[in-house]
Amino acid sequence: MITGESMPVEKKIDDTVVAGTINTNSTFTFRATKVGSETLLAHIVKMVADAQGSKAPIQALADTISSIFVPVVLILSFVTLGAWLLIGTQYLGFAQALSFGLTSFVGILVIACPCALGLATPTAIIVGVGKGAAEGILIKDAATLQKLHEVNTIVMDKTGTITKGKPELTSIKNHSLRLGDDNVISILAGLENKSEHPIAYAILQYAQLKSIEIASVQEFEIIKGKGLKGVIEGTEYYAGNTKLVSDLKLSLDGESIETETLQGKTPVILATKNEIIAVILVADAVKPEAIEAIKNLHTLGIKTVMLTGDTKNTAHAIAKEVGIDEVVAEVLPEDKLKKIKDLQSQGRIVAMAGDGVNDAPALAQADVGIAMGTGTDVAIETAGITLLHGDISKMVKAIKLSKMTMRGIKQNLFWAFIYNLAGIPLAAGLFYPLFGWLLNPIFAGLAMALSSVSVVGNSLRLKARQL
């Protein structure tokens, strides 16, 4: 919960444990050194609240324009009426000048009615949010969707965001001449079936996925800190770490094992008293879509940063595999928060993607928080965007959707204004002295309606666009 490591951390006497975390096996006695508001979890909650409270609301572009546009139009309509009365009376007489002046006055007010301006932003936002939901991208509010198109840096947690968040069997190195891979897994699953270790679950899950029968074990015994052993069909098998192999005095390619360990993989060695049968590697595997997603983010010109509480070796190995630009490892929740602030102080617009309690402060501080739908409730509640099923590729779609929606809003504002810019001079009677043109208020109303129709039509066009 605090570091984001995929594998449980072994604790010994005098180690610190955190309130709210889970003890996976056995029992222990602990002393409460901090309670209530002093606990780390309470501290995280406070950091989230502080970060959310510091966010400034984003003022919609259309509201700003309307606040200037409406008074200008009102003044212009009265100025036009006055101009007709002052100047028109000299050439047309008072009655005719008043008639044309009132026609122009009403025409300006009708054609410049900011209906389309009011529709420009909300129609595009409604379509954008709806399209996002259909794609499995849940957007909490319009401000988040608006801000996302400006993002130039995405900070990602490792466990549960880039990786699947749980150990699974990644490879089998079979050294046996008489046993196939399925036989190796059958024996190993039989031994691990009686264990409570998370690695055991990974091996058993693999056996179930491949429909491999789990071998029956007799004389099962746990070898503390090293592994376990048991008898299967008259043969005594051992499964465990390099310490167990060393005790059995069997030769093993230590350099290869060390290389795999440095990459964040955990080796499980299956052996008898006489030989090494196989080396099975268990790791928190990268999500299948992660590599392509990072590549697409780079195509969009976005810098990627991995921020994780996991070990440096594991973090750098995963980052290298998927193509992350920058790695910051072995960090606590407050360190993640500080990194986001540092990036923002450099002028970066930052999105944070995570799924755990330890990501919540950073999610709240970021300009845009993106939570995995498979993550914790506190992460989902804190973030502005939730990606269903924890699919990281949807992050790219979310950014494209934001850019598409904002482009639609700008187009809408253009169509809303083009009618006004073209129609106001005509409605004011500016062309009457030259061509005798004067806009009837009925046609001004039609132009105003067409501007609204064009804005709504342009917004609906977003539904047909591919992300």
CA atoms within 13 A on the CB side of 321: 18
- Element at 385 (helix H, strand E): strand 385-387
| Spatial CA neighbour of 187 closest among 276, 271, 253 | 271
Region at 217 (left for phi over 0; alpha for psi -120 to 50; beta for the rest): beta
For CA atoms 179, 183, 187, 189, the dihedral sign is: positive
Angstrom distance (rounded) from CA 204 to CA 394: 31
Name the phi and psi angles at 94, rounded to 5: -65, -45
Q: How many other C-beta atoms lie within 10 A of the C-beta of residue 82?
A: 12
H-helix or E-strand spanning residue 425:
helix 393-427
Start-to-end CA distance of the chain, whole Å, equals 34
Q: What angle in degrees, to the nearest 10, is found between the helix axes of 115-134 and 393-427?
A: 160
Continuous segment of H or E residues that includes residue 352 = strand 350-354
Residues 435 and 87: beta-carbon distance below 8 Å: no
Q: What are 210's two structure tokens? A: 């491949």
What distance in Å separates the CA atoms of residue 285 and residue 190, rounded to the nearest whole number?
A: 23
SS3 270: strand
Distance from C-alpha of 425 to C-alpha of 420, rounded to nearest angstrom:
9
Residue 8 CB neighbour total at 10 angstroms = 15
How far is Cα 76 from Cα 381, in angstroms, rounded to an integer? 48
**Torsion of the alpha carbons at 150, 152, 157 and 163, rounded to the nearest 10:** 100
Alpha-carbon span 391 to 372, nearest angstrom: 7
Q: Are 359 and 101 in contact (CB under 8 A)?
A: no
- The answer to whether 217 and 193 are in contact (CB under 8 A) is yes
Catalytic residue set: 157
3-state secondary structure of 59: coil
CA distances from 32 to 10, 15, 18, 333, 334 (A): 19, 12, 10, 21, 22
